[in-house]
Structure 1
Amino acid sequence: MGRRSLRKRFCNIATRECRIGARRGRYKMRRPDLNILVILCAVYREGSVTRAAERLNLTQSAISHGLGRLRLLFDDPLFVRKGNRLVSTPLARSLAEDAAEGLDRLEALFERQSSFDPAGNVRTFSIGVRDVLEASLVPPLIDMMMEDAPQSSLVSMHVRRTSMETRLASGAVDAVVDVCLEQPEEVMSERISDEEFCVVARRGHPLACKPLDLSAYLDSEHVLVSVRQEGDAFEDAKLRSLGHRRTIRLRCQHYLAAYRAVRNSDLIATMPMRLAVMFHDPEEVDLLPVPFEIGRMDFHLYWHATRDADPGNRWFRQMVRRAVRWRQAA
């Protein structure tokens, strides 16, 4: 049974069995309402009421109604519109991550007839992941796998976006974590993480001696990180939308190389905050706020529809989600 059919089943159970009463203008739940938890997770992952409605095969008004009940229940806006996407509040993020873990466990209860025994299974799992996430995602992922599946192993690899569908369909890779990408219907996905950015400059850099503004940022020379030989990075696309371009002095493939180039020069780099914190030595570099509205970079988990109900693949995807939640809480 696929994820969508299970989620629909949960919604039907919730509709029949849950009773929501109003008291003093706020909702009080007598029983857990799985319906609104599913809606919460879908909006959090998709960042859009429209896409959440498509994912759950519900109307947009049903999604909006569910969000309204949640806002009353928790007395929190939960999602705030920024541009064309909904950005979660800290409470919404915490609720969605906890709810997703619970829903995953409930789904497992319905699929025990085709279960996967991680403790006794010898299998090599593979994940496609980029430099921006590998250093912080793979270590907790292998730790969790070694605890639950001591005989399994993990391969982390680079998967070209143009060949993602083929690699997933063939089983050459079990899952991929990457930015939001348009893929064929056969490639299933869910939003699992987002990244905020900072500017990295060497200790004593002129930029670090005063608040960094856009003019000083544009006057500096930059390191761009990309596996491609040409083309813009995430921050360049945001700058271009504001009518600006920056001067690229160095283009390299990995953020660690960018960090080391920055610490010994007057170059600066814009990189994901979590990665910068991992590398950070306060005696060498300063971490500065980005002086324009850069937003967050969303990351999605991708897998092929033909593997959606495979017990081993489902277990592995749950491990990836757990590792992401651990990484965000660390």
Structure 2
Amino acid sequence: MELEDIDLNLLVVFNQLLKERKVSKVAENLGLGQPAVSNALARLRKLFGDELFLRTSSGMQPTPFADQLAESIGYALGMIHGAVNARSSFDPATSKRSFTIGMTDIGEIYFLPQLMQRIQVVAPAVSISTVRNTAVNLRDAMEAGQVDLAIGLLPQLKAGFFQRRLFAQRYVCLFRAGHALDKKRITQADFYAAEHVAVVSAGTGHGQVDEILDNASPQRRVKLKVPHFVAIGHILQRTELIATVPERLAERMAQPFGLRHVLHPVKLPQIAINLFWHAKYQKDPASQWLRGLIVELHADAL
């Protein structure tokens, strides 16, 4: 099969069917009638010699061959989209653009204060929204432009995405100033003798660390479990509990809450924090500006 045999519009329909799984929704998205989408699917089936999508009770499900084509076609369309829009301009000083960034609650605590402080100065009409990386289908949302960037440990964002390392960080033990463990170094015996607050964050890099600690012997003495890091500072400030947290979060929380942190006595993996964006927006000036701002504010020197 040669490229001149393929109508690019058919591949756009194919890509939409992969995301929406409904002919009616694809027709709505593309401003077409349902018969036109059905006709495009018929042409695709003839072109590739495969059914591609099968009607089921849960919508149009792709065949194994369609799944095989999906990644390459999505990547190619993204690159074409970026190329044809490369000449558009973006002026942060006058733009009223709203950006959406995928990040965790740790990310909000660490990245947003400086980012918003800078945006208020250089792009006063620009606004930012955040979404949890685990609360949306991040791959599809970023491909569709619903999420502009994502920050974190996100191994699912590989083919079709660019990434830039911001920093790697280790884990520390965090507790209130004056705690019995408030010294230069603590032992594993100290760690396991203390009572802990644990953040249950399945599906994140921190979730992997929790598994290591929970599968260790002896067991942590977990007194409290919470689903996020937002309240950790308030809790540690008023109790004898300790927490295992990323070092940069500990640095942000230490002064406001009167906390101290020391190197973790258990050997834990470092977390690589990366900035991700879809290939479709590699040359988009607005995306380039926001990426550059985040790198300027938060990336370690390479």
**Is this contact kept in 1: 2:209–2:269, CA < 8 A?**
no
Match of 2:231 among 227, 234, 257: 257
CA distance in 1, matches of 2:192, 2:217: 12
Answer yes or no: is 1:278 the counterpart of 2:239: no
Distance 1:186 1:290, change over 3 A: same
For the residue of structure 2 that corresponds to 1:248, the secondary structure is strand
| Bigger relative contact order, structure 1 or 2 (CA pairs below 8 A, ≥6 apart) | 2
Distance 1:231 1:180, change over 3 A: closer
**Is this contact kept in 1: 2:184–2:262, CA < 8 A?**
no
CA distance in 2, matches of 1:270, 1:187: 31
The runs of 5 or more residues in structure 2 that have no matched partner are: 1-84
Cα shift at 1:168: 0.5
Match of 2:189 among 198, 203, 215: 215
Alignment-derived partner of residue 133 in structure 1: 107
Alignment-derived partner of residue 134 in structure 2: 160
Cα shift at 1:319: 1.6
Answer yes or no: is 1:202 the counterpart of 2:155: no
Write the letter of the residue equivalent to 1:132.
Answer: I
Cα shift at 1:122: 2.0
Alignment-derived partner of residue 273 in structure 2: 299
Cα shift at 1:300: 1.1
**Is this contact kept in 1: 2:214–2:220, CA < 8 A?**
no
CA distance in 1, matches of 2:156, 2:203: 22
Distance 1:245 1:277, change over 3 A: same
Distance 1:212 1:130, change over 3 A: same
For the residue of structure 2 that corresponds to 1:233, the secondary structure is helix
CA distance in 1, matches of 2:249, 2:103: 14
Answer yes or no: is 1:226 the counterpart of 2:200: yes
CA deviations 1:188-246 (Å, max 9, x no partner) are 22221222322122344333368410122122221122344999734334447876642
Distance 1:132 1:234, change over 3 A: farther
Alignment-derived partner of residue 67 in structure 1: none
Aligned residues: 217
CA deviations 1:58-98 (Å, max 9, x no partner) are xxxxxxxxxxxxxxxxxxxxxxxxxxxxxxxxxxxxxxxxx
Answer yes or no: is 1:116 the counterpart of 2:90: yes
**Is this contact kept in 2: 1:165–1:184, CA < 8 A?**
no
In the TM superposition, 1:303-322 aligns within 5 A as 303-322=277-296
Q: Normalising to structure 1: TM-score of the pair?
A: 0.57
For the residue of structure 2 that corresponds to 1:151, the secondary structure is coil
Cα shift at 1:270: 1.2
Distance 1:286 1:196, change over 3 A: same
Write the letter of the residue equivalent to 1:170.
Answer: A
Alignment-derived partner of residue 8 in structure 1: none
Distance 1:282 1:190, change over 3 A: closer
CA distance in 1, matches of 2:90, 2:162: 21
CA distance in 1, matches of 2:131, 2:288: 19
CA distance in 1, matches of 2:156, 2:245: 24
Distance 1:285 1:231, change over 3 A: closer
For the residue of structure 2 that corresponds to 1:191, the secondary structure is strand
Write the letter of the residue equivalent to 1:147.
Answer: V
**Larger relative helix fraction:** 1
**Is this contact kept in 1: 2:101–2:131, CA < 8 A?**
yes
Distance 1:218 1:272, change over 3 A: same
For the residue of structure 2 that corresponds to 1:126, the secondary structure is strand
**Is this contact kept in 2: 1:236–1:245, CA < 8 A?**
no
For the residue of structure 2 that corresponds to 1:261, the secondary structure is helix
Larger Rg: 2
**Is this contact kept in 2: 1:192–1:299, CA < 8 A?**
yes
Write the letter of the residue equivalent to 2:142.
Answer: L
For the residue of structure 1 that corresponds to 2:129, the secondary structure is strand
Q: Normalising to structure 2: TM-score of the pair?
A: 0.61
Write the letter of the residue equivalent to 1:217.
Answer: F
Cα shift at 1:290: 0.9
Alignment-derived partner of residue 150 in structure 1: 124
Question: Identity, % of aligned pairs?
Answer: 26
CA distance in 2, matches of 1:289, 1:231: 18
For the residue of structure 2 that corresponds to 1:249, the secondary structure is strand
